[in-house]
Structure 1
Amino acid sequence: MAEALPPGKVPFLGLKVGHFTDLKALTGCTVLLLEEGAIGAVDVRGAAPGTRETDLLSPENTVERVQALLLTGGSAFGLGAAEGVVRYLRERGLGFPTPAGPVPIVPAAVLYDLGRGRAFRPPDPEAGYLAAMAAREEVAEGSVGAGTGALAGGVKGGVGAAGYRLEEGYAVYALVAVNSLGRPFDPRTGRLYAEAFLTEEERALLPDLTRYRGEEEAYRYPFLPGQSTTLAAVITDAPLTKAQARRLAIMAQDGIARAIRPAHTPLDGDLVFALALGEGRGVDPYLLLRLGAYAADALARAIARAVLLAEGMLGVPAYRQLVRKNEE
């Protein structure tokens, strides 16, 4: 058994989330800060990723612990925001120990939101610094941070978070920025693909679909190379090794496939980071299996929450607005 964690609150001591939101440029970034560091891993499934410092997350490579993650808009330009997070951490003496002092480790990944606002202003080092400064234990969701200018299959995308606490006592938590080519809902019925994973409170946000007029084709999309990506992080307090954290990221990818169709396309840069907050001694395979299964469920729920809580902007409807428009 597992219980759903309350939304809007980070479930782990030492983990904080901060956003920088630029409503004029319709972009932003989201920082996950880790006061004590965490063992990091990543799994990349999309064919158009934009990343920074992800090679060091491979299990065979030396550096194990990261001090922050950055999810950001701005496409390749947005990677510069990581420099601001590095500055924030350096000022506090956090990072990988070296003879010249700590070197902050901040893997980052970008999504494409260029041209969606009224100004060209991708997240820069100052944006990353401000997002780190704003990091709190409370998590804002919807059209904020890296999800500010995000789209999701023709409706507004955004940031969402969800998690579970397992009966073994460990928790797993997912945070996502949804900017997908694929739709988070079935255009033939209007229903969210991840609806089955929602709690009763989350189901109260769903629109009335009794008069929805569906489409005939589920998988017809404009050709938009490199303009879509779902970025996610899954976090646990279980003491996973680096290789086990990688397996957690791999299993969590199923949450994207459950909530968005199609996923991991030639035109998306989908990836999942994994963070393990424990000391890294490792867990037995059965516990890892359960953590991975619930990580996928948490990510599917987080994607649904991102879409349900996002607000329509500049002619792009929110999911609930699209359904109402269709019903009219």
Structure 2
Amino acid sequence: MKKTKVNEIENFRIGNAQDLEGATGCTVIVCEKGATAGADVRGGGPATRETDLLRPENMVQQIHAVTLSGGSAFGLEASSGVMEYLKEKGIGFHMGDIVVPIVCGACLFDLAVGENTHPPKKFGRIACVNSEFNLVEHGNVGAGTGASVGKVLGKEHSMKSGLGTYALQCGELKVGAIAAVNACGDVYEPNSSIHVAGLYDPATNTYMDSEEMIMEMAESRPHENTTICCIITNAKQTKAQMNKVASMAQDALARTIRPVHTSSDGDTVFAMACGDVEAPTDLVGIMAVKALEQAIVDGCKAAQDAYGLVCWATLNEKKAD
């Protein structure tokens, strides 16, 4: 198994649109050929679109895009711009002369970081147009523009996070992950006690432990959370298999974010497959977990200082001093 680039997975394109002043944006993963897909929602406060149709027993067999968006539930509007873009290209579910693009989506809460704004409908279209360039972008872009982590004690103890990507290849099989990291808790290197970002003390430039703090306070107040992700692969899989892949991929959140899947989180993982590579579902799922772990870490390490929030690189410079 080797590392590859997420934009080298055939049949998929990734594009971003953002409002840097408003601290919000959206990320679109487009598959014009249509992808079999699944989803797994673990957070207690999701803002999602078209997840029910991904259940194996439901009629629609393929989707054409996933939209990851800021703006909380308001951000679901961006998917309508994605639909318009795809409809103009004749891409979608065909019923006679009628074409309905199938676009799934999920949103994170970034309203308190910037100017209490959200990605409008036109941002979905802009992200689709940008996907035609299919660039790999990280950090303060797309759905990661207003993302932050470590929110237990409020903004003054939080850190900037963002959008991360990572991809792996095993033989002809490719699996990639895109993650907008916006957790209430702390982000760690996978299966370790090594902090990447989260709750910290600005007076000493040292990390704190969100779970310990919640237990000390004996309460967990609502926070502006949610990590939203998408797995893409060139494997040949069914809807049921991709739902299993999405479920397995949630392990990546459990291995890197503490706490995670809380009542105020909307943690959601989509999984899309478009290709003809025969591969066991468990192999696809294992690779998805490993790719998503690193995408979550990348989303924190690639972020830059913004909106009064310090990033991983800056905090490490301060600690070195």
TM-score class, shorter-chain normalisation, is 0.7 to 0.9
Task: Report the equivalent of 2:129.
Answer: 133
Task: Report the equivalent of 1:275.
Answer: 272
Q: Which moved more, 1:42-51 or 1:220-229?
A: 220-229
1:4 and 2:8 matched: no
Q: Higher strand fraction: Structure 1 or Structure 2?
A: 2
Aligned to 1:155, which of 156, 159, 166?
Answer: 159
Identity level (%): 39
**CA RMSD of superposed structures (Å):** 2.3
Contact 2:9/2:176 (<8 A) preserved: no
Q: Give the CA deviation at 1:214.
A: 5.2
Contact 1:152/1:178 (<8 A) preserved: yes
Q: Give the CA deviation at 1:323.
A: 3.3
State how far apart, in whole Å, the 2-side matches of 1:295 and 1:269 are.
20
Aligned residues: 301
**AA partner of residue 313 (structure 2):** R
Contact 2:148/2:159 (<8 A) preserved: yes
Provide runs of 4+ in structure 1 moved above 4 Å: 211-218, 221-224
State how far apart, in whole Å, the 2-side matches of 1:72 and 1:101 are.
27
Task: Report the equivalent of 1:82.
Answer: 79
Q: Give the CA deviation at 1:236.
A: 1.0
State how far apart, in whole Å, the 2-side matches of 1:115 and 1:254 are.
28
State how far apart, in whole Å, the 2-side matches of 1:315 and 1:70 are.
27
Q: Give the CA deviation at 1:52.
A: 0.8
- Any stretches of 5+ residues in structure 2 without a counterpart? 151-157, 198-203
Contact 1:189/1:213 (<8 A) preserved: no
State how far apart, in whole Å, the 1-side matches of 2:4 and 2:92 are.
30
Q: What does the per-residue CA deviation read over 1:200-253, in whole Å, with 9 as the maximum and x for residues that have no partner? A: xxxxxxxxxxx9855477532584526200000011111011100011101111
**AA partner of residue 175 (structure 2):** V
1:212-231 correspondence runs (5 A)? 213=206, 215=208, 218-221=211-214, 223-225=220-222, 227-231=224-228
Q: Give the CA deviation at 1:327.
A: 5.1
1:123 and 2:133 matched: no
Q: What does the per-residue CA deviation read over 1:153-191, in whole Å, with 9 as the maximum and x for residues that have no partner? A: 221111111111113x211111110000111138x9753
Task: Report the equivalent of 1:72.
Answer: 69
State how far apart, in whole Å, the 1-side matches of 2:89 and 2:68 are.
21
Q: Give the CA deviation at 1:324.
A: 3.4
Task: Report the equivalent of 1:288.
Answer: 281
Q: Give the CA deviation at 1:47.
A: 0.6
Contact 1:227/1:267 (<8 A) preserved: yes
